[in-house]
Copies of this chain bind each other. A is one copy, B any other.
Amino acid sequence: MTTTPEREVISELTTGRLSVYLRCLSLLESQGQKTVSSQELADRFHLNSAQIRKDLACFGEFGTRGVGYDVSRLKLTLVQTLGIDRSRNVVIIGAGNLGMALADYSGFNTNGFHIVALLDADPEKVGRTSRADIPVLPWEKLKEVVRKSRVQIGIIAVPAAHAQSVYESLADAGVQAVLNFAPTQIKQRDYVKVRSVDLRNSLESLSYHLKNREDGVVE
């Protein structure tokens, strides 16, 4: 593997913010806006303008003093930086409520991601389709589906007790990255990255906000 040390690898928190900026820029572009300043981005979307300038500085000069960023050009750079200028195939493991919801989630099956199938071990679920017509295939087909469709990403939407073994099967099948929705820590292999989504975090953030209000703290 060739290394390109001159390109800085940005942290997961930064990629999260880049995704947010990308969402904002897409909205502005759809409204016909050509340029935007970091201050306007911050004001419109409740972000931090200094943080925006710092994050975007990693990608070279986009801002023109007094004019701001070129919306379309910056958007394209973010798309390329995040690697969503190409399409990646995805499978979802678990066709329960969560798996079905994710299969039809707007944004999971567009602009760089293509959900090939759900897989489930329950024969009653196999043969169904999601509302967006994504088929539920038998769990035993995992290796075949991953190979034939060149699946790169697996999404775990099974109960916590099965998450680790599903991860192992995904890794064995050749999937390179895993998004885990099961509320459990996955022991990772070196070459198969896991990103876990803990939905409770967002609730706790709201709780923090409510507590401050109850305690009379001004935010």
CB distance from A22 to the nearest CB of B (A): 8
Do A20 and B152 form a contact, CB below 8 Å, given A101-B97, A177-B206?
no
Contact B104 A19, beta carbon cutoff 8 Å:
no
Give A72 to B66 CA distance when docked, in angstroms: 52
A68 at the interface (CB under 8 A from B): no
Give A207 to B113 CA distance when docked, in angstroms: 9
Q: Can you name 17 A-B residue pairings with CB atoms under 8 Å?
A: A3-B218, A4-B217, A7-B215, A13-B13, A16-B205, A19-B204, A20-B198, A88-B210, A97-B104, A98-B98, A98-B101, A98-B105, A105-B199, A112-B204, A193-B206, A195-B205, A197-B202
Contact A108 B205, beta carbon cutoff 8 Å:
no
Partner of A198, one of B23, B176, B211, B217: B23
User: Which residues in B have their C-beta under 8 angstroms from that of A105?
Assistant: 98, 183, 199-200
Nearest chain-B residue to A5 (Cβ)? Answer: B218
A209 at the interface (CB under 8 A from B): yes
List chain A positions with a Cβ less than 8 A from chain B: 1-5, 7, 9-10, 12-13, 15-16, 18-20, 22-23, 27, 45, 81-84, 86, 88, 90, 96-98, 100-102, 104-108, 112-113, 152-153, 160, 176-179, 183, 185, 193, 195, 197-219
Do A4 and B215 form a contact, CB below 8 Å, given A96-B101, A202-B179?
yes
Interface of A is mostly: mixed
CB distance from A186 to the nearest CB of B (A): 11
Contact A216 B1, beta carbon cutoff 8 Å:
yes
Give A202 to B180 CA distance when docked, in angstroms: 10
